[in-house]
Amino acid sequence: MYRYLFFDADGTLFDFEQAEHNAFWKMAESLSLPLERKHEQDYTRCNAEVWKQFEKGEVTIDELKVKRFANFASETGIFLDAEEASRSYQYQLSGQGILFDESITVLETLKERGYTLFLATNGIAEVQRGRIAVSNTERYFDHIFISEELGYQKPDPRFFAHMFEVTGLGEQKQFSLMIGDSLSSDIAGGIASGMDTLWLNKEGKPQDPKVQPTYTHNSLSSVLDFLNGPL
């Protein structure tokens, strides 16, 4: 029986796509940038490319914050100060604590049933801490693990090793469950660390034969049925 639940944040509890959308246009407004709708897609592509470089160790997190906007400006011809845009975007994004409709119900119900909850998220600490505060969700978690603060990001085994060291659950992995929407970070990292995993496949993505989660569910609310009852 599971007792300790490690939740991913973005795409699992938080609607990060909507948060990014809101932050992008608030940043553009604050800097009076003459952007069109297609520019959001351009930024999304530039951002994803730089995050991939970061995952490969080709850029640091500080370089990532600015480079994505420098690349965006270069590709689109939009004149902007990349450092200024980065600061504005991070500020705007940190205020976007947008949860999925069922997130609070799931967290409250699991706490009432006696489960111990943790949050394990990749991302920029300033942004994630701000969004957690705005959403008033910190109260549900015994500890919050953010990749920038740890110095490692999922699926790096050091991220998970740090979690088990802090929580003291290294000898109780059989009672721990990693819940997330990303096969490549949440599920692959959980498997490599010796945890059982629950993949939230909300969009019906194809299974990767190289990454086999312990369980697969298509909605966050179904987790309540799966963990059906108090401890």
Q: Is 42 a catalytic residue?
A: no
Catalytic residue among 8, 156, 181, 186: 8
Catalytic residue among 10, 15, 156, 186: 10
Task: Calculate ∠ Cα 80-86-92, nearest 5°.
Answer: 115
Q: Is 10 a catalytic residue?
A: yes
Strand 215-217: give its sheet, edge to edge: 143-146, 116-121, 4-7, 176-180, 196-200, 215-217
Q: How far apart are CA 26 and CA 92, in angstroms?
A: 7
Number of Cβ within a 10 Å radius of residue 24: 20
- Residue positions annotated with a catalytic role: 8, 10
